[in-house]
Chains A and B, each alone.
Chain A
Amino acid sequence: MKEVYAELATEIIENELATVMNKYAVAQNQEDSKLLAQKIEVLQEMKVEIGKGNSNIIKMVLKRKKKGII
């Protein structure tokens, strides 16, 4: 997969991590906090996979960003 796509996917995930961490810091109830903590874990794992060059994850991230899901 072309190099620039992995770079782009990493940037998208890091932006999302930043957003989630800021939401987590001001989360009002336990349920929200739990969900956001899980999301941080998942995003970290995705970042590692992108670093490894996992093209499925890269494609998924780019597709979701294009559709505005993340």
Chain B
Amino acid sequence: MERREISKDVYDKIIKQIPKKIIEMLPDKPENLLKYATRIKEVQFSKNVDEPTKKLMKEKLLNDEEYLRTFFFVMAITFYNKKRVENPQIKIVAAQTGSGKSNLTAKLLREDENYIFVDSDKYKHFRYDAKDIANEYQVLYPFLTGPDGYDHADNIYEYAIANKYNIIKESAPSKNKGLLNVDTEELLKNNYKISVYILAVGELNSLLSVHERYELQIIHGLKTAKLTSVGRHDESYEALIPNVEEIKDDKRINSINVYIRGNLDNAYSPTQIFPSERFCDIIECIKTIREEDNENTKEEFKKRYELVHKQMEARKAPKEQFNQLEEIYGRSIK
């Protein structure tokens, strides 16, 4: 996809508005970072986006001045206190939406803090009009702020690789994009060691978690809450095994690890299950753990389902959201 740079004139105009403290937090002089602030020439739309939303997405694209200003904010936040390393590593955390990727990422970050966490979702909030968009278009917020968020994530990723920072990236599996969704050759050229971390979670568990997380976000007043559709969930759930098959014998990948979700007994800390004595094949491992997890979820399903339902009733949730929950209920009694 073709990208374009931001002009020096725009840079000269906005650099005066960036406070000293934020400039101090940057990983390099702002003038040296300018070349990384590139933008996609044509906005890419997913198949499920309708025409009015596409129009609105184009309208809400930041102008170059605001884009660059936000770029400096997200660079400052992301690289603050992080250090370059001689032998960089990239960890890809992969699983379907709702499976607890953030928790595994947090665990990996606790083991070594010196990692850049690339996540397009969090950059969206740094644009000056994020709150206004969230108030006016609660459902469309992720779409309207998406293109600039993805560009910022690409900029950060590119800078991190060129300057040898350790990286953690979360990935929802996809049939078209594959699991890595990164330029492997570029990583190897920069001496990166690539490791993949997979969470094996049953579909019922992750589907319910999608709703539980959404309700909690609403309860805590997060206007940027996002309810993932069953379709998107299923796509990533079904793509995981084919995606792992594609890379399991890839010699360029240093290790592929499988984790199970944490529970009350281990303070919700994910536990590594592959490689281990129990499994000699990664695909068998993922399939078995998913089945076990599904059976366990069925036992607690009613309790979790009823709580979500009650929370939805309390806030008078839209009919479509109830329908989605009922669809998940239907799967639990199959």
A residues near B (Cβ < 8 Å) are 1-8, 10-12, 14-15, 17-19, 21-22, 24-27, 33, 37, 40, 44, 48, 51-53, 62, 65-66, 68
Contact B80 A6 (CB under 8 A): no
Besides A8-B216, A25-B17, 5 more A-B contacts (Cβ < 8 Å) are A4-B209, A21-B73, A25-B18, A37-B19, A65-B221
- Could you say which of B26-34, B122-130, B283-291 contacts chain A? B122-130
- Closest residue of chain B to A52 (Cβ to Cβ) is B110
Per-residue CB proximity of B204-223 to A under 8 Å, as 1/0? 00000100110011011110
Bound: A8/B213 CA distance, A: 8
Contacts between chains A and B (CB distance < 8 A), count: 89
Bound: A58/B100 CA distance, A: 17
Q: Is B106 an interface residue (CB 8 A)?
A: yes
Chain A: minimal CB distance from B104 (Å): 9
Contact B102 A18 (CB under 8 A): no
User: Which of under 10, 10 to 19, 20 to 34, or 35 or more describes the interface residues of B?
Assistant: 35 or more
Residues of A within 8 A of B313 (CB): none
Chain B: minimal CB distance from A31 (Å): 14
Give chain B's interface secondary structure class. Answer: helix
Residues of A within 8 A of B110 (CB): 51-53
Q: Is B279 an interface residue (CB 8 A)?
A: no
Chain B: minimal CB distance from A66 (Å): 6
Q: Is B109 an interface residue (CB 8 A)?
A: yes
B residues near A (Cβ < 8 Å) are 17-19, 21-22, 69, 73, 76-77, 80, 100, 102-103, 106, 109-110, 113, 122, 125-126, 128, 130-131, 209, 212-213, 216-217, 219-222, 224, 261-262, 267-268
- Closest residue of chain B to A68 (Cβ to Cβ) is B221
Among the listed B19, B113, B224, which residue makes an inter-chain contact with A51, where contact means beta carbons less than 8 Å apart?
B113
Contact B268 A1 (CB under 8 A): yes
Among the listed B19, B130, B219, which residue makes an inter-chain contact with A66, where contact means beta carbons less than 8 Å apart?
B219
Residues of B within 8 A of A7 (CB): 102-103, 106, 213
Chain B: minimal CB distance from A17 (Å): 6
Q: Of residues A33, A52, A53, which shows the largest number of chain B Cβ atoms within 10 Å of its Cβ?
A: A53
- Closest residue of chain B to A24 (Cβ to Cβ) is B19
Among the listed B73, B130, B213, B267, which residue makes an inter-chain contact with A4, where contact means beta carbons less than 8 Å apart?
B213
Q: Of residues A1, A3, A7, A52, which shows the largest number of chain B Cβ atoms within 10 Å of its Cβ?
A: A3
